[in-house]
Chains A and B, each alone.
Chain A
Amino acid sequence: MSIYALSLDRADPASPAAARNRPGAAVNDLVGRAQAGDEDAFATLYRTHVGRVHALCLRMAGDAHVAADLTQDVFVRAWEALPTFRGESALGSWLHRLAVNVFLGSRRSSGRREKRVFIAAEPGLLERPQEGGSPGLAMDLEQAIAALPERARLVFVLHDVEGYQHGEIAVMAGIAAGTSKAQLFRARRLLREALER
């Protein structure tokens, strides 16, 4: 079976009535309309995904202002690349990978020095944590993540927060898998030390 056989199967529409009743059909419809150039549909997708994308940008950048710029850039690029989105992964996953690429591209092109602005200084940025979580603990951890050295922070966010594997991080970040592993343990130890202070 070729790599496109599966996508062909997915693209194969069932009856229109069945398609409307499938879970996720509304999302697929929005994506399809946005791919066809419907900005209102894209605005709805933006509002659905902006929180997750912004959280990722905020944690990767460790800087609230840079994160807002990155998030905006992610959605502008998403609009342009959306015709190529084939639905083989969830739109959220696709946007996350795009956000990582945009962040890494911005670091390479600008050569910006790392900024360490604690996002906890702007508590309004944080939405309500997951049920059962401790707001205080999460805030302390957010501060500690923002204070990590850049590469350790990137690997920690991608591996422990977002769930990427070392091989994927290595490919995305252009580093060796061993570097990703070492930086993860470095990040975890620095976080533990910061939280125990």
Chain B
Amino acid sequence: MNCNELRDRFDGYVEGTLSDAESAALESHLDGCTACYEALAGQDRAPGATGTLPRAVAPPADLWPGIERELAARKRFRGRVALPGWLLAAAAALLVAVSSGGTLLLTRQGRSVRPSVQVSSNLTALESQYSTASAELTDVLEKARPGLSPETVATVERSLRIIDGALAESREALARDPGNAALTRLVVAAWRQKVDLLRRATALGKAG
């Protein structure tokens, strides 16, 4: 699709009358054509009232009691099933790890594919960054070690062993099933946990 065709057909796109193939071609053209983007931006500005929309809208009822019940239910469930600590930590990290770690890296690279594919295809680069950060933090922690209590050192070392074990297991599983996006996320989550633990431990050392 060229620029003239895009501008001729944009009304059809707005009305939803283009075929899927025509819509995809229009979107693809707009991705790379600054002239068309600016032309449309000139025609179709945000409604003036957009800036007057309230930033906050109170929910119809207080949601906290429901949230509190859900948190309590999840605590009871965890108590019954006794999941390994590293798995719970990895699960907690997963949501943010994918959106923050993977997305940040990929946004900088200007890629635009589905998050699971992005994380998978950039795992090597992410692991390299985590590995570098982990090594740097470990050096800092070694220097701070004299200022930490023996109990803290033991706790940090025990936690690191657990996370390293989880990381190794996840990586082995991923090696057996390289296309598995969930395993990819678990690897990322384990790295995140490790770096986060090291960062907190080094902060403790500095505070002491």
B residues contacting the other copy or chain, number (CB 8 A): 77
Alpha-carbon separation in the docked complex, A86 to B201 (Å): 13
A138 on the B face (CB < 8 A)? yes
Q: On chain A, which size bracket covers the interface?
A: 35 or more
Contact in complex: A126, B64 (CB < 8 Å):
no
Residues of A23-43 contacting chain B, CB below 8 A: 39, 43
B54 on the A face (CB < 8 A)? yes
B113 on the A face (CB < 8 A)? yes
Alpha-carbon separation in the docked complex, A85 to B55 (Å): 23
A168 on the B face (CB < 8 A)? yes
Given contacts A4-B195, A51-B58, A178-B31, contact A79 B26 (CB under 8 A): no
- Chain B residue numbers with a CB within 8 Å of A115 are none
A128 on the B face (CB < 8 A)? yes
Contact in complex: A195, B14 (CB < 8 Å):
no
Residues of B12-49 contacting chain A, CB below 8 A: 13-14, 16, 23, 26-32, 37, 40-41, 43-49
Contact in complex: B49, A140 (CB < 8 Å):
yes
Contact in complex: A161, B59 (CB < 8 Å):
no
Contact in complex: A171, B57 (CB < 8 Å):
no
- Chain B residue numbers with a CB within 8 Å of A5 are 136
| A147 to B: closest C-beta gap in Å | 13
| A80 to B: closest C-beta gap in Å | 5
* Most chain A beta carbons < 10 A, residue from B52, B107, B118: B52
Given contacts A2-B129, A126-B54, A138-B49, contact A84 B27 (CB under 8 A): no
Contact in complex: A192, B60 (CB < 8 Å):
no
B176 on the A face (CB < 8 A)? no
Q: Is the interface of A mostly helix, strand, loop or mixed?
A: helix
Contact in complex: A71, B59 (CB < 8 Å):
yes
| A121 to B: closest C-beta gap in Å | 12
Alpha-carbon separation in the docked complex, A84 to B100 (Å): 10
Q: Which one of B30, B99, B110 contacts A167 once the chains associate, using CB atoms below 8 Å?
A: B110
Residues of A164-197 contacting chain B, CB below 8 A: 167-168, 170-172, 174-179, 181-182, 184-186, 188-192, 195
Alpha-carbon separation in the docked complex, A52 to B129 (Å): 33
Q: Which one of B45, B118, B133, B207 contacts A2 once the chains associate, using CB atoms below 8 Å?
A: B133
B114 on the A face (CB < 8 A)? yes
Contact in complex: B67, A76 (CB < 8 Å):
yes
* 6 A-B residue pairs with CB within 8 Å: A13-B203, A51-B57, A133-B54, A174-B115, A189-B43, A190-B14
Q: Using A75-B63, A133-B51, A137-B48 as known contacts, list a sample of 20 further A-B pairs with CB atoms less than 8 Å apart, ordered by residue number in A.
A: A2-B136, A3-B133, A4-B133, A4-B199, A13-B207, A43-B68, A50-B59, A52-B56, A54-B59, A72-B67, A84-B192, A86-B199, A97-B99, A97-B100, A98-B96, A141-B47, A161-B50, A171-B103, A171-B106, A172-B115
